Structure 1
Amino acid sequence: MPARYVVALKGRGGEETAQAWAESHAAAAGVPVVRVHVATGDDADFAHPEPHRTTDVVLPRGPVPEQLARFLHDDDALVIGTGKTGFIHSRVFGTMSLRIAAVARCAVVVVPHLDLRFRSGVVAGVKADDLLDPVVRAASDEAAQRGEPLQVVHSSFSGIVPAPVETSASALEQAAALVQRLHPRATLRTRETVRPPAEALLDASRNAALVVIGAGHAHRSEHSLGPVVQDVLVNINAPVLIVPGGRFKHVE
């Protein structure tokens, strides 16, 4: 559970859904919400907050991702809104959420400006690596807290040749065992697919309340995201919680 929810304000439209998401989760968890605004000359969306808005913290002028990264703690959850959904819009209008998520050392939630009232279920994407445990913990905690069903998705797609069956079974079995231990009454469904992982997650999350995935690493860089999370964010169709591996703080 995060110690606080930090909402990054753009100062323009499209952030109301993210604020509501953060406030709802913070109220359920009994933790505070901190709203921040970063002033910068490079990113116009963050440069001019609307006059009627009140923010709790105004950070110094500078690049948005770096200023937020300096402010955040490891046990925070950073919530950022995006008004762009779908491949074409994201490619044309930029990938600020990707840049922020890549440098943040805490969990990051990217919330698209969509009507989330009638969505249900939590979808978690896993594979047999060191992110499986924190991803399943975060996803099962979210599902249990909200009384939502949980679906764990594993893709055996690896280019042309599918992964060995035992690898797929192992990942899903590990995930199911962990969910059973943490939340014995959880409604759990596991799903194996041969589709590319981002494609499978986007399909599974069309009507989901939340998608949970690990940040991954590209080119072994500390400040980078794996290709799956990049593809999911570029084509975002549901709130996405990005879990930063061992840096994610879980409270029993």
Structure 2
Amino acid sequence: MAERVIVAIDGGPASSAAVDWMLERARTVNLTVELTTVIELGWVPAGGPQDDFHLVYERALAEAARRVDEAAPSLKKTSVMRRGAPVEELIRASAKADLLVIGTKKTGFMAGAVYGTLPLRLAAHARCPLVVVPANWTHLDGPVVVGVEDDDTSDVALDFAAREAVRLGRGLVIVHAWSIPATLGFDDGLMIPFDDLRQAHDEILARAAGRIREANPGLDVTVTLEQGPAAQTLVDASRTAELLIVGTHGRGAVAGLILGSVSHDVLLNMPCPIAVVPRAVTGAASAMQPKQ
């Protein structure tokens, strides 16, 4: 079964980068692609046509489809124009997709106002993994980097990252950052020593790496343990990465609680394309079909 990918189109360089990223993925994975854009009802872009401005969206979709035809003429694709609130429509669409791909930069007059903040809101609620591609993205031969938390909330993201590294034939870098709590824990009235704190986090990282090595014996897995802010550690570790993968907390009714502060901050300081993986992933996203 082919992986079902939706690429959000807004007519600017950010969505062009999203299309380019999808085309690069199509080299190694069997895909069916939906190019989609969302017309926000009741909204007319500044400087745009006052009446039949939906033609702007049609042209953007047609241009994206033309680029796909030129680069991958055999790739199965559809073009869909949705109407409604962009966040709600793309979240609804993600329920039937294995991967949702969007650009990051707020560009163009067509939908820049909504597509500029879309990544953060979508990352908190998308029903499938969301890949956010910077507008200036270029293909790199770097590793896949994934962040792990103190608990099991990163397990699904970690498994996704291992599959991506295997697909790309790259190494996997598992990153864990830790910091000294503002109020240190106490055991029988004694402060926990610094070395014991570090050892506890080292064991978290070792368990995560061990599980991935056991499941993927041919995969080159390295680990990075750093003391400091998690988001900055992940950004620094991903400067030359092909893909950075983070998970969501999957709890709470507030978007920030669902996404988590680390994923939120990483999306605001993107070093490379970032995949945000919900805690529950099904379909081809959890078992991609590589090209033969």
TM-score bucket (shorter structure): 0.7 to 0.9
Query: 1:89 matched to which residue of 2?
Result: none
SS in 2 for 1:207: coil
Which stretch shows the higher mean deviation, 206-215 or 74-83?
A: 74-83
Deviations along 1:168-198, one digit per CA (max 9) or x if unpaired, are 1232122211221222121111011111100
- Identify which of 234, 244, 250 aligns with 2:278: 244
Tell me, yes or no, if the aligned pair for 1:98 and 1:233 is still in contact at 8 Å: yes
Deviations along 1:219-252, one digit per CA (max 9) or x if unpaired, are x227441111110011112100011012355238
User: Aligned equivalents of 2:144 and 2:25: distance in 1?
Assistant: 14
Query: 2:32 matched to which residue of 1?
Result: 32
RMSD: 2.8
User: Aligned equivalents of 1:175 and 1:121: distance in 2?
Assistant: 17
User: Aligned equivalents of 1:24 and 1:113: distance in 2?
Assistant: 15
User: Aligned equivalents of 2:137 and 2:259: distance in 1?
Assistant: 27
| Deviation for aligned residue 1:15 | 1.6
| Deviation for aligned residue 1:59 | 4.1
Q: 1:43 to 1:103 in 2, by over 3 A?
A: farther
Query: How many residues get paired?
Result: 243
Q: Matches of residues 192-203 of structure 1 in structure 2 within 5 Å?
A: 192-203=225-236
Tell me, yes or no, if the aligned pair for 2:248 and 2:276 is still in contact at 8 Å: yes
Deviations along 1:62-94, one digit per CA (max 9) or x if unpaired, are 11110111122265110001126xxxxxxxx95
Query: 1:221 matched to which residue of 2?
Result: 253
Q: 1:196 to 1:43 in 2, by over 3 A?
A: farther
Structure with higher Rg: it is 2
Query: 1:139 matched to which residue of 2?
Result: 161
Structure 2: gaps of 5 or more residues: 47-52, 66-77, 107-114, 185-193
Query: 2:213 matched to which residue of 1?
Result: 180
User: Aligned equivalents of 2:171 and 2:44: distance in 1?
Assistant: 38
Query: 2:11 matched to which residue of 1?
Result: 11
Tell me, yes or no, if the aligned pair for 1:26 and 1:32 is still in contact at 8 Å: no
1:190 counterpart = 2:223? yes
- Identify which of 67, 78, 83 aligns with 2:89: 67
Tell me, yes or no, if the aligned pair for 2:177 and 2:229 is still in contact at 8 Å: yes
Query: 2:197 matched to which residue of 1?
Result: 164
1:51 counterpart = 2:51? no
| Deviation for aligned residue 1:205 | 0.9
Tell me, yes or no, if the aligned pair for 1:8 and 1:37 is still in contact at 8 Å: yes
Q: Which AA in structure 1 matches 2:59?
A: P
User: Aligned equivalents of 1:169 and 1:43: distance in 2?
Assistant: 53
SS in 1 for 2:245: strand
User: Aligned equivalents of 1:151 and 1:238: distance in 2?
Assistant: 14
Q: Which AA in structure 2 matches 1:53?
A: L
Question: What percentage of aligned pairs have identical amino acids?
Answer: 32
Q: Which AA in structure 2 matches 1:230?
A: H
User: Aligned equivalents of 2:125 and 2:250: distance in 1?
Assistant: 12
Tell me, yes or no, if the aligned pair for 1:74 and 1:247 is still in contact at 8 Å: no
Q: 1:52 to 1:243 in 2, by over 3 A?
A: closer
| Deviation for aligned residue 1:50 | 6.3
SS in 1 for 2:272: coil
User: Aligned equivalents of 1:52 and 1:69: distance in 2?
Assistant: 21
Query: 1:87 matched to which residue of 2?
Result: none
Q: Which AA in structure 1 matches 2:148?
A: V
Q: 1:210 to 1:43 in 2, by over 3 A?
A: farther
